[in-house]
């Protein structure tokens, strides 16, 4: 029994550490996403996405991050199942519990966060891995490295007008390309392209139902985050009447900050790109 009690405590500590790591990542991810709101045609956001996609240190951290996600999810589900099994039959008489609402909802908000992650991965991360079709961008300087023998010039000529519409504003490359279009214009073996996450995000946030779903799931994430921060500090031994109130306040403010950062982006884009033009029409 002592072994299993120790194992449970170890799981909780590991869960707390992994959770804190993911919480810090959220702030960085949110800061990068705020670049979507700049009126620069996505220049800052694309530069950040390029750095995140090509820097080897970031790639290593990406693997660490994915491992942290998996460990966090597995441990959370395991501990929840252990809690359910520990009390298979509910008390006959309902009693007032000191357990907070956030604690009671953790497994459910956690499942909603998992749903958010699945959607996010399908829309963006799997595009980066080449598992899902997306939109792509190519810089003209990289086209010099293309194998011209692979290019079907007749198809290029037939689609020349379409290619002209794909120019970036600064004329330094092409954007909003499908894999089929890249194959036509640059050949089968051309691989010097990157996902166009800026246009992909804009396209997603132009859909009102996607925006609503995104905001609802972000709200669930912040409910989860608020209790998770408090629980993590408590698990790590930072539980005292002197600083527990500060931890609770910090957790709430941090959760509200994350909610504000992530929720404002789709709402802002939808309002100024879609709704406002309709109101002016």
Q: Which residue has the tokens 């990542």?
A: 25
Q: What pLDDT was estimated at residue 101?
A: 67
CA angle 109, 10, 121 (to 5 degrees): 40
pLDDT at 3: 36
DSSP code string of the chain: -HHHHHHHHHHHHHHHHHHHHHHHHHHHHHHHHGGGGSSSTTHHHHHHHHHHHH-HHHHHHHHHHHHHHHHHHHHHHHHHHHHHHH--S--SS-------HHHHTHHHHHHHHHHHHHHHIIIIIHHHHTSS---EEEEHHHHTTS-GGG--HHHHHHTHHHHHTTB-TTSSEEEEE-HHHHHHHH-TT----EE-HHHHHHHHTTSHHHHHHHHHHHHHHHHHHHHHHHHHHHHTT---TTTHHHHHHHHHHHHHHHHHHHHHHHHHHHIIIIIHHHHH-
pLDDT of residue 4: 38
Decide: pTM greater than 0.85.
Answer: no
**C-alpha to C-alpha distance for 150 and 218, rounded to whole angstroms:** 45
**Could you tell me which of 10, 74, 13, 1 has the C-alpha nearest to residue 233?**
13
pLDDT in tens, the chain (281 residues): 443 344 566 666 766 676 777 777 888 899 999 999 999 888 899 999 888 888 888 778 778 777 777 777 777 777 777 777 766 555 555 555 556 666 778 888 888 988 998 998 899 889 988 899 999 998 888 877 766 676 777 777 777 788 788 888 777 888 889 888 888 787 777 888 899 999 999 999 999 999 999 999 999 999 988 888 888 777 766 666 777 888 888 889 999 999 999 999 999 999 999 999 998 87
């Amino acid at each position: 029994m002592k072994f299993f009690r120790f194992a449970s405590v170890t799981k909780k500590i590991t869960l707390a550490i992994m959770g804190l790591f993911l919480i810090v990542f959220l702030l960085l991810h949110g800061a990068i996403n705020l670049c979507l709101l700049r009126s620069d045609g996505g220049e800052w956001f694309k530069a950040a996405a390029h750095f995140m996609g090509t820097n080897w240190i970031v790639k290593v951290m990406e693997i660490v991050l994915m491992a942290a996600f998996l460990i966090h999810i597995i441990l959370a589900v395991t501990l929840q199942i252990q809690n359910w099994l520990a009390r298979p039959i509910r008390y006959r008489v309902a009693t007032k519990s000191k357990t907070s609402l956030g604690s009671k909802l953790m497994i459910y908000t956690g499942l909603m966060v998992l749903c958010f992650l699945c959607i996010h991965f399908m829309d963006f991360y799997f595009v980066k891995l080449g598992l899902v079709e997306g939109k792509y961008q190519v810089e003209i300087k990289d086209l010099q490295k293309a194998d011209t023998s692979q290019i079907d010039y007749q198809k290029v000529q037939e689609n020349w007008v379409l290619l002209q519409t794909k120019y970036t504003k600064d004329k330094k490359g092409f954007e909003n390309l499908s894999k089929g279009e890249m194959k036509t214009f640059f050949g089968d073996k051309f691989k010097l392209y990157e996902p166009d996450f800026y246009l992909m995000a804009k396209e997603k946030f132009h859909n009102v139902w996607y925006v609503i779903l995104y905001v609802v799931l972000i709200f669930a994430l912040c409910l989860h985050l608020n209790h998770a921060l408090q629980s993590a500090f408590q698990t790590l031994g930072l539980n005292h009447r002197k600083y527990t109130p500060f931890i609770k306040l910090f957790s709430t403010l941090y959760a509200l900050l994350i909610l504000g950062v992530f929720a404002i982006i789709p709402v802002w884009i939808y309002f100024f790109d879609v709704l406002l033009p309709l109101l002016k029409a």
